[in-house]
A and B are shown apart, each in its own frame.
Chain A
Amino acid sequence: MIDDKQVVKAFERLEQKNIDTSIINQVDFSNKQIMVLCRGLDRHQDITNINNPNISANEMENILDDEFDMGLKLQLEHGLDPQKYKIRQLYELNDALNKGLDITPYKSPEFSANHMFVAQTYQENNLPINEFSPQDSLISLIDNRNTLLREAHDNKINSIINNYDPNHDRKVEALNDYKVSIYDIDSQVWEKSLAENGNFGDLSKPLVVDCFESHRRNLLASGLSPEFVDGLGKFTVDQFKLHTGSNSLEYVSVDTSPSRIKLINEILTNEHYQHGPTLSDYNEQQLAVLETALENNTLPHTIYGHDPQTTSAKAYGLLVNEKFNIDSLSEKFVLVDNTNLKTWDTHPVDINHPPCTYIEFNSTEDVLALLQSSEDPGSTTRISELQNTGKLELSNGETLYITDSPDKIGQALIEEQSSSGFKEVLPVKELELSKTYDKQLAYKEAIQSNISTEINKVLDSQLNKPDTHLLINWQNGAVKSYTGEKEALAIKAQGDDLVKANSSTLEKYAAQKFKEKGKEFERTSSSRVDDGLAF
């Protein structure tokens, strides 16, 4: 030893605190390494991972720091006490969380690191782990897992055999026949449009419609669903207007869902007319999010204004839940876009022109994903710096930390953007601090007032026949009437309430909904009953 005074003191200190130092073999380590190990023990960290003389003292310090952070994260986010765990257990739990797994069934320190690892392999294969116990032998758990996997595999094979669709080849054949006919039209129309200097779309539409109609029966007879066939027809006609008709059919196979066909049609059309993103820019996860929103009738028309290269599937998931009325907010934080107020400010409250739009979110991860989808090219660099270094120097001289609250991070990053003036990030419970809150409140009141008026009209009118159903939307104030529940259900969007229009049901519904909003439904007799409804 070069100078062991500090080392001796460090050991004495630990021994006074009854901390076992026997794990450190003083002969193997340098003084610098020993001091790092002692500091780790002093902080009640498990030093097993760095108890190796081949690791430099600096490297040991870095590893200890990372493990300290990992323990802290597990403590903060999952209430674990890191001191009760061996370091390998902490690593396994951390790995599981990074894989997006639920650690609840095995987060107790009674489970060994090996148990935790095996449990993860169950979860990754969607196998049940309810019966997992720390007393189970690892061999029995692994045997059981392998048995379950074999059974799952056999079930999958049986399912494929049982679900074999003998019509599959017929469907493929019918679709291919249709595609070939469309390709023929494509070349015919192209030559004709060149010769006559005619408009491609106008020339092709009657031919494409005829072609589709002549194939419709064959397509349906092959076993393709009516929804698929109708979607295919609309898709082909729409795409031929864009000069890309036959090429775009490449995106459609017999396994493409009708909603995916509809989405592809929208994306290609938007690309052509609005110079929006191309279909190939989207990945499968992004498309799946948009497809679900389209099925739920919640896909905002502004969604194609976002670049799929910078807008993650997570961000799309938040953007498709865009809201227009503070009454509908349910998450912790919100990004308020006041851009509409530029044109709206001088007008009276109008339910057709919401003053603001709202994107809700719950975490820092969410708000960074949202802001990454921003068009400001500088924002992505700033967000990367914040994510990579944990902090960011702002232009006002302050420092923003990744550990700051999500609303603080969101607001600070927005203020760094060039077009920041019309956006705000706030906790939902502090929305009254928004600079446009009075307008937002007025809009909410207008929505409620409109719904009250429309419900009263229905109650006054003769329209409340047994089969009449209403779709009521508290986001935009729309109240629409339909004959028959089926018709209403076909149109119903996420956020619409479907209500039977008979007097007792409707009055009860109105009373309940207004009560939820801290108000009373006022039954007023309309003087305009004879005018009928303005639906």
Chain B
Amino acid sequence: MTKFILDETKFDEMQLDIIKECYDAGFDPSSFADPKYDWAKMQVAAHGIREGFNLSKYLNDFSHSQLDLIRLGLKQGLNVELLAKPELSFEEMHHKLLSLSYERGRKE
């Protein structure tokens, strides 16, 4: 991994903690290391990175809870574009995730 340069003055302590933890574990945090993302979103994004999923394209439009549902959808191998719609509430996204997973299982 290339060396990661960070202006620590722009991040709060929680954000820095998550970025460093991700980096120290051997993963590249650059996709979410932006001060505009709160630490809760970063926590989900870092979890995604550890599992091999890059959530950067969803960071702007979704809350940390919604982001976590998208991560779970990616992990299930679902088409998350059906789920990742900013106009959907968390509850609607949660319901959609369960029904997409269910439909996929039924088709097998």
Contact = CB atoms under 8 A, between A and B. Distances in A.
A43 B65 CA distance: 9
B54 to A, nearest CB: 15
A483 interface: no
Contacts of A406: 108
B108 A2 contact: no
A42 B47 CA distance: 17
Interface stretch (A68-76, A152-160, A451-459): A68-76
B105 A61 contact: no
A32 B43 contact: yes
Given A42-B65, A76-B101, A403-B104, A6 B38 contact: yes
Interface in A1-31: 2-3, 6, 10, 13, 31
Contacts of B64: 6, 35, 39
B39 interface: yes
A10 B38 CA distance: 13
B43 A3 contact: no
Interface centre among B47, B75, B106 (most CB of A within 10 A): B47
B88 interface: no
B80 to A, nearest CB: 13
Given A35-B43, A65-B72, A77-B105, A391 B77 contact: yes
Interface centre among B40, B69, B72 (most CB of A within 10 A): B40
A403 B105 contact: yes
A364 B40 contact: no
A75 B43 contact: no
Interface in A107-139: none
Interface string B65-88: 100110010011100000000000
A76 B13 contact: no
B108 A364 contact: yes
Report whether over half of chain A's contact residues are helix, strand or loop; otherwise say mixed: helix
A345 to B, nearest CB: 35
A390 interface: yes
Interface string B10-41: 00111001100000000000000000001110
Contacts of A401: 77
A402 B40 CA distance: 31
A405 B108 contact: yes
Nearest to A406: B108
B3 interface: no
A57 B72 CA distance: 17
A309 interface: no
Given A403-B77, A405-B107, A31 B14 contact: yes
Contacts, number: 68
A403 B76 contact: yes
A194 to B, nearest CB: 63
A58 interface: yes
Interface string A404-415: 111000000000
B96 interface: no
B47 A2 contact: no
Contacts of B106: 76
B40 A6 contact: yes
A27 to B, nearest CB: 18
Contacts of B44: 39
Nearest to A399: B77
Contacts of B69: 43
A65 B74 CA distance: 12
Contact of B75 (A2, A10, A65): A65
A36 B39 CA distance: 12
Given A39-B64, A42-B90, A58-B47, A3 B14 contact: yes
A28 B105 CA distance: 39
Contacts of B94: 42-43
B4 interface: no
B65 A39 contact: yes
Contact of A2 (B14, B40, B68, B101): B14
B93 to A, nearest CB: 10
Contacts of B39: 3, 6, 31
A76 B77 contact: no
Contact of B105 (A6, A31, A57, A76): A76
B43 A57 contact: yes
Contacts of A403: 76-77, 104-105, 108
A2 B76 CA distance: 34
A403 B101 CA distance: 10
A428 to B, nearest CB: 15
Interface string A314-346: 000000000000000000000000000000000
A2 B38 CA distance: 13
Nearest to A3: B14
Nearest to B106: A76
Interface string A27-52: 00001100110010011000000000
A39 B102 CA distance: 21
Interface string A355-390: 000000001100000000000000000000000001
A406 B107 CA distance: 10
Nearest to A363: B108
A61 B14 contact: no
18 contacts: A2-B12, A3-B39, A32-B18, A35-B64, A36-B43, A39-B44, A39-B64, A39-B65, A42-B65, A43-B69, A61-B47, A65-B75, A72-B101, A72-B102, A76-B101, A77-B105, A403-B77, A403-B108
Would you list the 8 A-B pairs with minimal beta carbon distance, nearest first?
Answer: A76-B105, A401-B77, A6-B40, A61-B47, A35-B40, A403-B77, A39-B68, A2-B13
Given A75-B98, A76-B102, A403-B77, 11 more contacts: A2-B14, A3-B12, A6-B39, A31-B39, A36-B43, A39-B68, A42-B94, A72-B101, A363-B108, A403-B105, A405-B108
Interface of A: 2-3, 6, 10, 13, 31-32, 35-36, 39, 42-43, 57-58, 61, 65, 68, 72, 75-77, 363-364, 390-391, 401-406
